[in-house]
Amino acid sequence: MSQVAPENLVFLDEMGVLLGLTRTHARSPQGTRVYDLKPFYRGAKVTVIGAISLDRVLAIMTLNDSMDGKAFEVFIRHCLVPQLWSGAGVVMDNLPAHQIASIKPLIESVGASTLNLSPYSPEFNPIELWWSQLKAFLRQFSPTTTKMVDTLIATALHLVNPEHLRNWFADCCYCTS
Q: How does pLDDT run along the chain (177 residues), one tens digit per residue?
A: 678 899 999 999 999 998 877 767 778 899 998 887 666 656 789 999 999 999 999 999 999 988 999 999 999 999 999 999 999 999 999 999 999 999 999 999 999 999 999 888 889 999 999 999 999 999 888 888 899 999 999 999 999 999 999 999 999 988 755
Hey, what amino acid is at 62? T
pTM of the model: 0.87
d(CA 177, CA 169): 11
| Structural domains in the chain, sorted by start | 6-22+39-172 (3.30.420.10)
- In 3D, which of 24, 79, 71, 50 has the Cα closest to residue 153? 50
Axis crossing angle, helix 162-171 with helix 127-141, rounded to the nearest 10: 130
DSSP string across 21-73: ---S----STT-------------EEEEEEEE-SSSEEEEEEEES---HHHHH
